[in-house]
Each structure stands twice: as structure tokens, then as C-alpha cells.
Amino acid sequence: MAGLRVTQIKSKVSEKQNQRDTLRSLGLRRIGQTVERPDDAQNRGYVRTVAHLVRVEEID
């Protein structure tokens, strides 16, 4: 199954509350942390919301 590897690369300190909540929903708590999530519409939407804070790689 295809998935996404999401890594937080920037701080969430000065971001809006909904973006902070989105990072938490993705499972990201600190800079440099990486999580693997399924590649579905919900997670794509999360990534789009915080695209300026994360790096995304597609994995198999």
C-alpha cells in the first residue's frame, strides 16, 4: 500500500491554531520528527494545510 513519509522541518510556534492542530493530527510534535501515514484524501488535505512546515515523500 502506498503511503506518505512526512517530516516536520519548521517550527509551529508562530503559526495559526488550526495549523498547530493539523501537525498534531499528523502525529508531529517536534522539528525533525518523521511519521508514515497512509496516502488517502484526509492525509493529503492535512499535508496541504501545513505544506510550508513539512517535507513529504511518497513511499511504497
* Domain residue ranges in the chain: 3-59
13-42 pLDDT, tens per residue? 999 999 999 999 999 999 999 999 999 999
The CATH code for residues 3-59 is 3.30.1390.20
Query: What gap in Å lies between CA 41 and CA 9, rounded to an integer?
Result: 22
Q: What is the pLDDT of residue 1?
A: 74
Query: What gap in Å lies between CA 60 and CA 53, rounded to an integer?
Result: 23
> Mean pLDDT for the chain?
97
Stated pTM of the model: 0.92
pLDDT bucket at 48, cuts 50 / 70 / 90: very high
First-to-last C-alpha distance (Å) of the chain: 6
Give the H or E element holding residue 7: strand 3-8
